[in-house]
């Protein structure tokens, strides 16, 4: 099958199976172009919760498909590339949180959506990069534990100084590589450009940026801005939509290392196989799902 035939086969199978394709902003261009919805983690969770489709094909990483299953248990949720995981999500586990809770029963736990169902089940509320500040501000306690991203946690701490945020030592292997000196260099080289970064970057990068936000917030900001040049400090997948929506503007990556190998594992062939053979189905044990659902629903209510 050539690419054109595969795309039409995907469309046919999608209708036959009443399926919806959700794709994260970091997916390869061919997948973004055939997806029904492309967005950041918050938008994709909201869509997963409200879709009427029977099958959700999640072009992203494991925790995203798992969140879709938690929110829509009656639907079949498929992760096309079975080994697409998120190393940051694996940096905290439920046993560690249970221990923390035994020792600190009055400290609520906020978990980044980049976490397993078991971690969500042990947390009080979830958040994404686009609503993290709002969620933490909405918690009545003065002290919280934030897991697993130390960089997003530091960003929240700066914006919610009235609360004490205990940080975990997790990080995104893609964003954490970027250095503050790279921002200085690019600023000198392209003084007219605005620097837009993701809060998964280190504080030394975030504090030098002109704008900090989730992938979709970065795309919206650049699209609405009257400026013509932008330096993008997040995974390179966002450049596709930025260029497509803004042909008159120029976009440069802040750092060469901004590629997430896990987000790049899904190909058109994987999507075709997911639909044709209904693979790979994501399941969540019911007791864990019920508890994790509480954390995700509290987040969606507060968003
Ligand atoms: P957002 O799209 O919510 O900004 O998420 C970034 C990310 O790293 C997902 O893995
Ligand atoms: Fe995980 Fe970072 Fe890849 Fe997002 S970009 S999936 S946080 S490793």
pLDDT cut 90: percent of the chain above it: 99
Ligand 1 lined by 234 (C-beta under 6 Å) = no
pLDDT cut 70: percent of the chain above it: 100
- Examine the pLDDT at 149 and tell me if it is beyond 90: yes
Tokens (6 digits) for 14 = 């999608």
Measured in Å, residue 237 CA sits from the centre of ligand 2 at: 12
This prediction has a pTM of 0.98
Ligand 1 lined by 41 (C-beta under 6 Å) = yes
Quote the pLDDT of residue 303.
Answer: 84
What are the DSSP calls for the chain, one per residue? --HHHHHHHHHHHHHHTTEEEEEETTS-HHHHHH-SEEE-HHHHHHHHHH---SEEEEES-HHHHHHHHHH-TTSEEE-SSTT---TTGGG--HHHHHHHHHH-TTS-EEEESSS-HHHHHHSSEEE-TTTHHHHHHT-SSSEEEEESBHHHHHHHHHH-TTSEEEEPSB--TTGGG--HHHHHHHHHH-TTSEEEE-TTS-HHHHTT-SEE--HHHHHHHHHH-S-SEEEEES-TTHHHHHHHH-TTSEEEES-TT---TTTT---HHHHHHHHHHT--B----HHHHHHHHHHHHHHHHH-
Q: What is the pLDDT of residues 205-263, one digit of tens each?
A: 999 999 999 999 999 999 999 999 999 999 999 999 999 999 999 999 999 999 999 99
Measured in Å, residue 103 CA sits from the centre of ligand 2 at: 30
Average pLDDT, the chain: 97
Measured in Å, residue 269 CA sits from the centre of ligand 1 at: 24
Q: What is the pLDDT of residues 81-127, one digit of tens each?
A: 999 999 999 999 999 999 999 999 999 999 999 999 999 999 999 99
Ligand 1 lined by 214 (C-beta under 6 Å) = yes
- Examine the pLDDT at 295 and tell me if it is beyond 90: yes
Q: What is the pLDDT of residues 39-93, one digit of tens each?
A: 999 999 999 999 999 999 999 999 999 999 999 999 999 999 999 999 999 999 9
Quote the pLDDT of residue 12.
Answer: 98
Sorted by where each starts, the structural domains of the chain and their CATH numbers stand as 3-84+263-282 (3.40.50.10800), 89-171+288-302 (3.40.50.10800), 175-253 (3.40.50.10800)
Minimum-distance ligand 1 atom for the alpha carbon of 114? 10
Q: Is 130 annotated as a binding residue?
A: no
């Amino acid at each position: 099958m050539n690419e054109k035939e595969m795309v039409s086969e995907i469309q046919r199978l999608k209708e036959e199976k009443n399926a919806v394709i959700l794709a994260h902003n970091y997916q390869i261009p061919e997948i973004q172009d055939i997806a029904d919805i492309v967005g950041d983690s918050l938008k994709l969770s909201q869509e997963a919760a409200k879709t009427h489709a029977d099958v959700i094909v999640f072009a992203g990483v494991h925790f995203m498909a798992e969140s879709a299953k938690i929110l829509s248990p009656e639907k079949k949720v498929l992760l096309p590339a079975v080994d697409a995981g998120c190393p940051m999500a694996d940096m905290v586990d439920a046993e560690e949180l249970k221990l923390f809770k035994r020792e600190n029963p009055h400290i609520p736990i906020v978990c980044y959506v980049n976490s397993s169902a078991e971690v969500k089940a042990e947390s009080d509320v979830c958040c994404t990069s686009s609503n993290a500040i709002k969620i933490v501000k909405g918690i009545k306690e003065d002290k919280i534990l934030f897991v697993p991203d130390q960089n997003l946690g530091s960003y929240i701490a700066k914006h919610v100084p009235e609360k004490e945020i205990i940080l975990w030592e997790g990080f995104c292997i893609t964003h954490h590589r970027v250095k503050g000196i790279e921002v200085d260099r690019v600023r000198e080289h392209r003084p007219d450009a605005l620097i837009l970064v993701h809060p998964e970057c280190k504080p030394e990068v975030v504090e030098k940026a002109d704008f900090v936000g989730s992938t979709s917030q970065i795309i919206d900001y650049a699209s609405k801005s009257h400026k013509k040049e932008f330096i993008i400090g997040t995974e390179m997948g966002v450049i596709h939509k930025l260029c497509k929506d803004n042909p008159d503007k120029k976009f440069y990556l802040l750092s060469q290392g901004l590629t997430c190998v896990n987000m790049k594992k899904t190909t058109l062939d994987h999507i075709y196989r997911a639909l044709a053979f209904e693979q790979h189905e994501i399941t969540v044990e019911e007791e864990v799902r019920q508890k994790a659902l509480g954390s995700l629903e509290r987040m969606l209510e507060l968003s």
